[in-house]
A = this chain, B = another copy of it.
């Protein structure tokens, strides 16, 4: 699949059906939703049963990586991979309208479709095991105790190239029916944000060990979104 175009192909799988004016197939729009997140949900099918598994993930170009999951045993027997859907959703606000029907939420979401495969190549796997640290904490893989052969063996990494994707975003005020605006009913938006708290250093730090400067992308009171986007930008430069 060419990744030279600015948009993903649109098929029945990724076409936005409900409220399609909120949808976008732009790679940049999809990446913006993905790169502001650490947590995704991956959907698989095992013996006809669907699973939505929450997991940490990261993006490298058009490939998404995540840690071993309930699908890893299945994948070991399916070298060709299995269809999967990796979804990210951020809740940004609760929207209270003058009718129940127009109640809504502000959000940013992205659904990505492709074929999940086990990362078995030793080189790709070693790179991924450094990337899972460096993507979130710039340069950190060089600062920590090196990975052992046993740890590498115990780690399962799954990869999926994005074949199709769609972003869907609502970011606005109350969308009441025109006639309802005249009603004496309170309406408004309650914004919500995921923020960074005060860092809790490990109680067993060797005396004198300072927090690395690169972790300043996580300032107390800052938005987690901004920190993760800054981490992704730093990761892409390396």
Contacts and interface: CB of A to CB of B under 8 A. Distances in A.
A201 to B, nearest CB: 4
B190 A199 contact: yes
A103 interface: yes
Contacts of A187: 201-202, 205
A130 B69 CA distance: 38
A205 B211 CA distance: 49
Interface in A82-104: 83-87, 89, 91, 93-94, 96-101, 103
Secondary structure class of chain A's binding surface, majority of residues = mixed
Interface string A6-21: 0000000100011000
Contact of A186 (B93, B103, B176, B209): B209
B185 A105 contact: no
A72 B42 CA distance: 20
A96 B39 contact: no
Interface string A143-161: 1110110010011000000
Interface stretch (A24-32, A50-58, A117-125): A50-58
Contact of A54 (B107, B190, B191): B107
Contact of A144 (B99, B196, B218): B99
24 contacts: A13-B49, A41-B89, A42-B52, A43-B51, A45-B48, A49-B113, A50-B83, A54-B109, A91-B224, A96-B215, A100-B145, A101-B155, A173-B203, A184-B206, A184-B209, A186-B210, A186-B212, A188-B199, A188-B202, A190-B196, A191-B197, A192-B194, A192-B195, A194-B194
A-B CB proximity, top 6 nearest? A54-B89, A43-B52, A191-B197, A43-B50, A41-B41, A52-B87
Given A41-B54, A53-B111, A100-B151, 9 more contacts: A13-B49, A18-B70, A41-B41, A43-B43, A103-B132, A186-B201, A190-B200, A191-B197, A194-B194
